[in-house]
Structure 1
Amino acid sequence: MPIAEMLRYAELVREGEHTVAERRALLEEHDRRVSERIDLLRRQRERIQRKIGLYRDAADFAGEPVSA
């Protein structure tokens, strides 16, 4: 969560119970962004693992060109 949003969240907590809906909305938006980031990282990891597999295969066929 960006610092500005953390500060806003803390401010809302101090303001009291009438801010519960806004706090929940901040957390839901943060959760959505975290989920998107996790999806991106998973896709990037899959690409990295495929490339690692190519290099492992290349080690078995030393001297042959490997396309990445």
Structure 2
Amino acid sequence: MLGTLVNAIAIIVGAVVGIVLKKGLPGRMTDTLMKGVGLCTVFLGISGSLTCLCRCYGDCRCLTKWAYGRS
């Protein structure tokens, strides 16, 4: 329950800060920040997928078999 409240408060504070700073940030900086967030999101997605595959099969040798289409 405490984690949910902290998360909700952090989202609200982040939204307010974003609204206030959006008017003050140049377009180039906004573009760079969005690209950075996108890159982090892609990295986390790939990392999570690889972690799940290794956990499911016990080791990372399964990744080479999976990449080449072998069972």
TM-score (norm: length of structure 1): 0.50
TM-score (norm: length of structure 2): 0.48
Return the index of the structure with the highest Cα Rg: 1
